[in-house]
């Protein structure tokens, strides 16, 4: 175990619950640290249910293509914790060095002096310390959970705020209606800061507009103030500053046109002066692991059928199920192959809602444990839920065995298309076992 992993394990025990949404503890700690959140570069704060990470990845790619120095904070990580903190560097940011991360965690732990605080809160405080200590032009900061009471929401004067697509997820903490969840997400809106909002269902949009009015935030709404759509395989974007005819995003799926559009809208509204060349380079070079990522090599991929397409996605809620299934349907239309799902999910998620869009599309679902989480759903139970959603399903011991089972069954003339999906924790395990962690 490396230094930071041992420290993180210790920090996990400072609070009896892993999640306890509140700003009181982190604000007190930030005060004792000298308010590093006031010393970081201009912040673009990103909330939403789906699309936060992809939108952030597009913004980073575009900003770095323009020669900007960019810090990035995202969560959760896939394989190693240090993936959450990317520090600006010449030619492009890099994950924080393990020793530097460990030193920051130790210092913040010392200042906290044993007071109750969640691991996410204290590690977010350490991230702010690191971001304040390193020069950059912009800090892209993704909300951990919700927005209003998330530890990242200690930034008082962001350069801009962003709300990506809102759907049902984390109901235990955010509320059991779209309106309640939207109210939590809209808690990041700030007076005087432009608020860029991706396309939303009506119930979410109504709440966002109400919260923006109360907070005197300047709304920049999709399909009112800006629009982004796919046309003949290209991305068309338009706002008050003009129309852009752009190449398609590197990331796969129709939803990535929306995420790319949200990124462009944010950077233009924040008046960061990006050229069309920088936007195009960002679209072409963006990387965001475990979001319809093609796995082409590695020991785990080698267990798949010969010439099979192997895809990996960490989406885990009904909204993600819709856009992932849509992407698989688009691939099927262009290049027909039998589709198999290899799926593991947490007990806190809605598997029926996730599976529903795949009915009639997937030939079979093989359900697996989520080995990196104690909250993984039993594969037999998950298979029963998939069957109730109209899918043929059976449990297997692990992803490797699922790939071998598919190889034994998919003996037709056309190699299968395999999608490993349902959990970011599962995706991280797959990347680690395949020897292809994020870089």
Q: Could you write out the DSSP letters of every residue in 352-408?
A: HHHHGGGTTT-SEEEE---TT-TTBPPHHHHHHHHHHTT--EEE-SSHHHHHHHHHH
- Cβ-defined contacts of 326-332 (< 8 Å, 24+): 326/253, 326/254, 326/255, 326/357, 327/252, 327/253, 327/254, 327/255, 327/292, 328/358, 328/361, 328/362, 328/417, 328/419, 329/361, 330/253, 330/254, 331/417, 332/361, 332/417
270 neighbors 262 (Cβ within 8 angstroms): no
154 neighbors 37 (Cβ within 8 angstroms): yes
Write the DSSP symbol of residue 435. Answer: T
Rounded to whole angstroms, the Cα distance separating 310 from 137 reads 37
Domain ranges within the chain, ordered by starting residue: 3-285, 293-433
- For the structural domain made of 3-285, what CATH number should be given? 3.40.1190.10
Say whether 293-433 and 3-285 share the same fold. Answer: no
Torsion of CA 228, 260, 195, 82, to 10 degrees: 170
12 neighbors 18 (Cβ within 8 angstroms): yes
Task: Give the pLDDT of the chain (439 residues) as one tens digit per residue.
Answer: 578 888 999 998 888 887 888 899 999 999 999 999 999 999 999 999 999 999 999 999 999 999 999 999 999 999 999 999 999 998 899 999 999 999 999 999 999 999 999 999 999 999 999 999 999 999 999 999 999 999 999 999 999 999 999 998 888 888 889 999 999 999 999 999 999 999 999 999 999 999 999 999 999 999 999 999 999 999 999 999 999 999 999 999 999 999 999 999 999 999 999 999 999 999 999 999 999 999 988 999 999 999 999 999 999 899 999 999 999 999 999 999 999 999 999 998 999 999 999 999 999 999 999 987 778 999 999 999 999 999 999 999 999 999 999 999 988 899 999 999 999 999 999 999 999 999 8
Architecture label for domain 293-433 = Alpha-Beta Complex (3.90)
User: Kind of pairing, strands 339-343 and 364-367?
Assistant: parallel
């Amino acid at each position: 175990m490396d230094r930071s992993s041992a420290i993180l394990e210790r920090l996990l025990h400072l609070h009896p619950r892993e999640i306890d949404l509140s700003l009181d503890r982190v604000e007190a700690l930030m005060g004792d640290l000298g308010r590093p959140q006031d010393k970081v570069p201009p912040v673009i704060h990103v909330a939403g249910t789906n699309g936060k990470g992809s939108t952030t990845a597009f913004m980073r790619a575009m900003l770095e293509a323009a020669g900007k120095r960019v810090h990035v904070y995202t969560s959760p990580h896939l394989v190693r914790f240090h993936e959450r903190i990317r520090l600006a560097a010449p030619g492009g940011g890099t994950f924080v060095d393990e020793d530097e991360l460990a030193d920051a965690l130790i210092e913040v732990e010392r200042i906290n002096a044993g007071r109750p605080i969640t691991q996410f809160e204290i590690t977010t405080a350490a991230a702010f310390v690191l971001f304040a200590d390193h020069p950059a032009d912009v800090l892209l900061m993704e909300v951990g959970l919700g927005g209003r009471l998330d530890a990242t929401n200690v930034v008082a004067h962001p350069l801009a705020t962003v709300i990506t697509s809102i759907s049902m997820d984390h109901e235990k903490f955010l509320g059991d209606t779209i309106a309640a969840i939207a109210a939590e997400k809209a808690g990041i809106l700030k007076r005087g800061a432009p608020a860029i909002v991706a396309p939303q269902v009506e119930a979410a949009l109504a709440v966002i507009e109400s919260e923006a009015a109360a907070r005197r935030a300047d709304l920049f709404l999709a399909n009112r103030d800006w629009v982004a759509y796919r046309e003949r395989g290209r991305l068309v974007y338009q706002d008050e500053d003009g129309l852009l005819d752009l190449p398609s995003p590197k990331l796969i799926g129709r939803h990535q046109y929306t995420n790319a559009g949200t990124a462009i809208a944010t950077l233009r509204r924040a008046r960061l002066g990006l050229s069309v060349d920088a936007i195009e380079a960002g679209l072409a070079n963006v990387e965001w692991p475990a979001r319809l990522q093609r796995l082409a090599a590695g020991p785990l991929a080698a267990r798949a059928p010969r010439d099979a397409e192997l895809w990996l996605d960490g989406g885990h809620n009904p909204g993600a199920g819709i856009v992932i299934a849509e992407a698989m349907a688009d691939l099927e239309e262009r290049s027909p192959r039998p589709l198999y799902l290899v799926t593991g999910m947490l007990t806190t998620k809605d598997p029926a809602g996730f599976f529903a869009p795949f009915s009639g599309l997937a030939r079979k679902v093989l359900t697996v444990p989520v080995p990196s989480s104690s909250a993984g759903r039993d594969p037999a139970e998950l298979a029963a839920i998939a069957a109730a959603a109209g899918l043929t399903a059976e449990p297997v011991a692990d992803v490797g065995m699922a790939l071998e089972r598919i190889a034994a069954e998919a003996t037709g003339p056309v190699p299968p298309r395999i999608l490993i999906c349902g959990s970011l924790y599962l995706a991280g395990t797959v990347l680690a076992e395949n020897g292809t962690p994020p870089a």
